[in-house]
Amino acid sequence: MPGARGRYFGDPKALIRSRSTRLTVPRDPVTLMARVYRHVLPGVRGELREWRERAERIPDAELRRQAIASMTTKQFHCEGGAVYAAACPAQGPLLIRLIVAFQTISDYLDDLCDRGTSRDAADFRRLHQSMLDAVDPAAPLADYYAHRTEKDDGGYLSALVETCRSCLRRLPSYALVQPSVRELVAYYCDLQVYKHIRPDLREPALLAWWEQHRVNYPELRWNEFAAATGSTLGVFMLFLAATRPALEPAAVTRIRQAYFPYVCGLHILLDYLIDQEEDRIGADLNFCFYYASPEQTARRIAFIGEQARRAVQPLEHPGFHRMIIEGLLALYLSDPKVARQPAVRQIAKRLMQRSPLTRLFFRLNGLWIRCRA
């Protein structure tokens, strides 16, 4: 990659040579977006090219179709998640490889469960065991397709799992963050099981699940807790933290409490907010449908956004995390889907008014897109 190989981004061999794990966190939006567009996005696309080439060789036609489709339609998930690599250029290639592999598992399984041939909870549970195994370097691999007829992926899913584990073994403080990572991944897997079962069963299952956790999150509604469990951002932040040899347990606790539920909840509620039209057409579950009105939707998302901003203040480099929050708002609220939905457009205007930094990211994103067109 031009201009990057002299440092560490884009050059895995340089990563091996480097022993540096110093965080060089971007201090302003321009620096952050420059790193993302110059280094992170090309790295992500390189990783995805390799996984797509492997997906194209999957023997089973249905598994091959779903694997390719997940990368075609959800590439931006990997691009957004890999922004955390911008905070540690020395470990950038390792973090990008790890985040892309883990997010690709998530997107592939989401498509298998959402658009595949099964509505079997046992099938969804076994498929998502791969995500738990991906964050446990000591776990044995399992037969992840045991409960479905499509089985032969040519080793694709296991290769994604092993890639994650190989990267995690090279993070100096992964053992310290692993319990929190597993907790968040377990939440994510539970959600994927409950939200993909038969429509007449999924809401009762989600509500019963909420009853197990509501005492810990009295300020949330059940749909907001469920939304928070669907985000991988907390996991990716913990991956970044694990690059630091001197990481302390108290820092891990602060990250876990800051990201879940508020940063994670904001992330996924914004995703559902802009997808309402297509989810109505497809009769798909959407957690924003459980608000009584657009006004209530705007109030609750604004509340969660404010709580997210407060939650990241005790973290090291709070400005970086604040940029993540405002960048999420700008990214989702600038999506073309917003303009096609009048009620969502009004909610977006209200949310944008609350933060000058969101509006700055909104404009910078548009500028970058125009410059690269």
Instruction: State the average pLDDT for the chain.
Output: 89
What pLDDT, in 10s, does the model give residues 310-348? 999 999 999 999 999 998 888 888 888 998 999 999 999
234 and 342 assigned to the same domain:
yes
What pLDDT sits at residue 84? Answer: 97
What is the length of the chain? 373
155 and 21 assigned to the same domain:
yes
The answer to whether position 315 is within a domain reads yes
What pLDDT sits at residue 64? Answer: 97
Give me the mean pLDDT over the 224-229 stretch.
98
The answer to whether position 357 is within a domain reads yes
The answer to whether position 178 is within a domain reads no
Lowest mean pLDDT among 28-37, 71-80, 130-139, 341-350: 28-37
The answer to whether position 184 is within a domain reads no
155 and 225 assigned to the same domain:
no
42 and 165 assigned to the same domain:
yes
Q: Which of 170, 186, 219 is the last residue of a domain?
A: 170
What pLDDT sits at residue 29? Answer: 82
The answer to whether position 79 is within a domain reads yes
163 and 26 assigned to the same domain:
yes
What pLDDT sits at residue 68? Answer: 97
What pLDDT sits at residue 304? Answer: 97
Give me the mean pLDDT over the 89-103 stretch.
97
Residue type, 253: T
What pLDDT sits at residue 136? Answer: 98
Query: Could you count the other beta carbons within 10 Å of the beta carbon of residue 52?
Result: 15
What pLDDT, in 10s, does the model give residues 200-223? 999 999 999 999 999 999 999 999
What pLDDT sits at residue 360? Answer: 59
160 and 265 assigned to the same domain:
no
Which structural domain, as residue segments, surrounds residue 25? 1-170
Backbone angle region of 317, left / alpha / beta, with phi > 0 → left and psi within -120 to 50 → alpha: left
Q: What is the CA angle 18-24-29, rounded to 5? A: 140
**Residue 215: burial class (beta carbons within 10 Å; 0-12, 13-18, 19+):** exposed
What pLDDT, in 10s, does the model give residues 250-293? 999 999 999 999 999 999 999 999 999 999 998 889 999 999 99
What pLDDT, in 10s, does the model give residues 40-51? 999 999 999 999
What pLDDT sits at residue 48? Answer: 97
Give me the mean pLDDT over the 81-104 stretch.
96
The answer to whether position 6 is within a domain reads yes
Question: Do 253 and 187 touch, CB atoms closer than 8 A?
Answer: no
What pLDDT sits at residue 361? Answer: 57
Question: Do 38 and 46 touch, CB atoms closer than 8 A?
Answer: no
What pLDDT sits at residue 7? Answer: 35
Residue 157 CA to residue 59 CA, distance in Å, equals: 13
The residue among 224 and 370 whose pLDDT is bigger is 224
288 and 157 assigned to the same domain:
no
Q: Give the single-character DSSP code of 290.
A: G
The answer to whether position 177 is within a domain reads no
290 and 213 assigned to the same domain:
yes
The answer to whether position 213 is within a domain reads yes
155 and 298 assigned to the same domain:
no
What pLDDT sits at residue 359? Answer: 56
Residue 76 CA to residue 277 CA, distance in Å, equals: 20
Q: Which of 150, 170, 190 is the last residue of a domain?
A: 170
16 and 109 assigned to the same domain:
yes
The residue among 354 and 90 whose pLDDT is bigger is 90
221 and 145 assigned to the same domain:
no
What pLDDT sits at residue 238? Answer: 98
Total domains in the fold of the chain: 2
What pLDDT sits at residue 24? Answer: 82
pLDDT confidence tier of residue 23, bands split at 50, 70 and 90: low
What pLDDT sits at residue 335? Answer: 84
91 and 228 assigned to the same domain:
no
What pLDDT sits at residue 218? Answer: 96
What pLDDT sits at residue 108? Answer: 97
**What tokens appear for 342 in the block?**
């009048």
Give me the mean pLDDT over the 119-135 stretch.
96
